[in-house]
Amino acid sequence: MKMELNEQDSLILHMPFRYENETTVTKIKALQNSNYSIVEGIIKDVCIKHHNKNKNLVVTLTDGSGYLQLRWINFHKSYVKNFIVGKKLRVGGEIRRNFLNTEIVHPKIYDYRANLPKFLTPIYHSIKGISQLKIRKKVIDIINNKNICDSLPEDIIKSFKLMTFSNAIKIIHSPDIDVPINSLIKKTHPAWFRIKFDELLANQLSLEIERHNRKKNKSKPLPTSKEFWDSVKIILNLAGINLTKAQKRVIKEISFDLAHNYPMYRLLQGDVGSGKTIVAVIAALQAIMNNTQVAIMTPTEILAEQHFSKIKTWFSNLGINTELITSSKTLKERNNIKNSVLNGNISLIIGTQSLIQEYIKFKELGLSIIDEEHRFGVEQRSSLYKKGIDPENKIIHPHLLSMSATPIPRTLAMTFLSDMKISVIDEFPRNRKPIITKLISDDRRERVLMHVATAARNGNQAYWVCPLVQDTEKNDLQNAVNTFHDIKERFPDLNIGLIHSHVASHEKITTMQSFRDGQLNILVATTVIEVGVDIPNASMMIIDHAERFGLAQLHQLRGRIGRGNTESICVLLYKNLLSNIAKYRLKTMFETSDGFEIASRDLKIRGPGEFLGTKQSGINLLKFCDLDNDIKIIELAHRVASIIYNKYPEFMKKHLDRWHKKSIISIIE
């Protein structure tokens, strides 16, 4: 059966991960440890040895330059008949050499009469038991038939000095003996430059198409007015906020986008505490003053309630109705809110994932705001965006503003978010003081407790964050419930609060309000307080078992303090015997408080899928490109995508089809 082009492409893009050199025979005395080598010799001895209660078949081979042991740990007794003293044998395998002997364990047996191959032998990741030989034969057939077409215009290939696709594929799958194997394995060979470029170009073309398609959609223009700017001044006065230059800049960028008749699609980035919330509030005000509604979705009820309590106070002075919707609302409350949103009486609704439930429908949603957008999956973000599309004719789309306190590294933004406009608040409010970070071993826990108690008695407030709610039998991690009782018993003169995911929603809100009002000295919590919580008087953050938290979590938790006039301290309590990754995280937290630097280092650990909230979403992320080392290829693909879209549109489908994911199993079988 003739193979379709996209099937053929899927097969040749199943790349080898290493190579074996079967082109030459190596003398035994010249064998190098750990190398894959081919050896020919005469069988000198065949015996069965006992090793650790197991039988080993050991065949000794000689070629006149030395002796090589061939060892089979698992073998059938009939297998011994294949080896006769004096018979010639050709074998291959990874060499194990020490001062006693040289051996190959479970060697591959070759026909010594056959010609040696002229090219390096590629080794592929297994595909449901399909043999290496079958994969190799299929790929070689495609290469030898010379029917691998190029998906790029010849002008592009020449202008940017790219290797042709067919040559790149041939070198990677069937390299000559003189091609440096390391350059293929490490993907630094020019052939790999072309493959990585093509993969990134497909990625960039998809985003280019998405960006242009989005501009074809229609949104209601939301222009500014004198009344709007007067209202902004009122809110800033009520909040006691003096905008930084960075905040003023991004407000202008967002305001400009909202005035267009196609949907804004913008990401607002800013480090923890840089002042993103007030920027989002001003954007919401612009939409509301154009007689449309606004939805703000947050990842936690605590953050939703905090936003609601602040914004309701500000907006009530302007006669704007604001409402909060969470899963803890009663059915009657949800029905009342549903009706008020549908008839337009509520201009701004704030909530968690409850916002994307089917029963919430808008009269006219002008702007969707997603706070801490990386905490939501792709489907959840999409669901909120689709809420505002006119159900009758699906012509009017809402504007979209996503916010993230986890800065996206430049390479990641360019690769996966280039269809979005990005605004960055790269400046902190003047009153923000740097946070002192200390790494302290758990051996000194008692001293930390005493210091926290003393600080609390002097009017400071502290968070004590634990990785677990309650103990489990299988680990000894410090948990929130036990820590709460321990501190409460030890310091009866202090008011201690407890908050975690199992606490009822109304209790969480009450406890947070007590802490905010200064009625609690210490708040013991899990990571439910990780995002958005803003309590200026809290100046201490103790993170128990800090080695168990991710970098982004540690940075977010540290960002809960340092918001007032008091010097703030973050203590990372850790257990000894740290893993290398844990050491790397703690070292990073100690060395820098720069969110972009922390995000860049975090990306190396977690990878782009988890970082962007696309892990397990079905989105096909990069297979070959390395975001750390391939920045030049990323920049080139970003530039060429625009050229192809505008000058060579006929090549777009051809190129995207090549990189469209297809099952290789069905192709080979």
* DSSP string across 39-56: EEEEEEEEEEEEETTEEE
Q: Tell me what the mean pLDDT of segment 412-441 comes to.
A: 85
User: Does CATH place domain 435-592 in 3.40.50.510?
Assistant: no
Query: 370 pLDDT exceeds 70?
Result: yes
Using H for helix, E for strand and C for coil, what is the string for 213-243? HHHHCECCCCCCCHHHHHHHHHHHHHHCCCC
For every residue of 570-582, DSSP letters joined together read EEEEE-SS--HHH
pLDDT score recorded for residue 666: 47
Distance CA 655, CA 651 (A): 6
624 falls in which pLDDT band (50, 70, 90)?
very high
Percent of the chain with pLDDT strictly greater than 90: 54
pLDDT score recorded for residue 46: 95
486 falls in which pLDDT band (50, 70, 90)?
very high
Report residue 288 CA to chain centroid gap: 34
Q: Choose among 543, 509, 547: nearest CA to 526.
A: 543
Distance CA 185, CA 172 (A): 9
Query: 4 pLDDT exceeds 60?
Result: no
User: Does CATH place domain 24-116 in 1.10.10.10?
Assistant: no
Distance CA 457, CA 240 (A): 29
pLDDT score recorded for residue 410: 75
Report residue 124 CA to chain centroid gap: 26
Q: Tell me what the mean pLDDT of segment 433-442 comes to.
A: 92
Sequence-separated contacts (24+) of 552-557 with Cβ below 8 Å: 552/406, 552/598, 552/599, 552/602, 553/527, 554/585, 554/589, 555/272, 555/406, 555/589, 555/593, 555/595, 555/598, 556/272, 556/405, 556/406, 556/530, 556/531, 557/463, 557/465, 557/527, 557/529, 557/530
pLDDT score recorded for residue 533: 74
Domain spanning 226-425: which superfamily?
P-loop containing nucleotide triphosphate hydrolases (3.40.50.300)
Q: Which residue has the higher pLDDT, 273 or 441?
A: 441
Q: Mean pLDDT of all residues in the chain? A: 87
Tokens of 300: 């936690």
- List the single range of 36-50, 69-83, 519-533, 607-621 with lowest mean pLDDT: 607-621
- The continuous run of DSSP H or E covering 1 comes out as none
Distance CA 414, CA 266 (A): 14
Sequence-separated contacts (24+) of 469-477 with Cβ below 8 Å: 469/500, 469/501, 469/502, 469/526, 477/544, 477/545, 477/548
Amino acid letter for position 344: G
Q: Which residue ranges make up each domain of the chain? A: 1-16+124-216+637-669, 24-116, 226-425, 435-592
474 falls in which pLDDT band (50, 70, 90)?
very low
pLDDT score recorded for residue 1: 38
Distance CA 3, CA 279 (A): 55
Q: Choose among 491, 508, 500, 499: nearest CA to 455.
A: 491
pLDDT score recorded for residue 469: 67
Query: 431 pLDDT exceeds 80?
Result: no
- In contact, 166 and 12? CB cutoff 8 Å: no
- In contact, 173 and 627? CB cutoff 8 Å: no
Per-residue exposure over 211-229, b if at least 16 CB sit within 10 Å of its own CB, e if not = beebeeeebbebebeeebe
Distance CA 467, CA 16 (A): 41
Distance CA 632, CA 630 (A): 6
- List the single range of 225-239, 244-258, 494-508 with lowest mean pLDDT: 494-508
2 falls in which pLDDT band (50, 70, 90)?
very low
pLDDT score recorded for residue 618: 38
Query: 382 pLDDT exceeds 50?
Result: yes
416 falls in which pLDDT band (50, 70, 90)?
confident
Distance CA 246, CA 68 (A): 70
617 falls in which pLDDT band (50, 70, 90)?
very low
pLDDT score recorded for residue 616: 39
pLDDT score recorded for residue 572: 96
| 226-425 and 435-592, same CATH topology | yes
* pTM beyond 0.75: yes
Query: 543 pLDDT exceeds 90?
Result: yes
Q: Looking up tokens 């595909």, which residue turns up?
A: 127
Report which DSSP code applies to 286.
H
Span 65-88, pLDDT tens digits? 999 999 998 788 889 989 999 999
323 falls in which pLDDT band (50, 70, 90)?
very high
Distance CA 257, CA 266 (A): 9
467 falls in which pLDDT band (50, 70, 90)?
confident
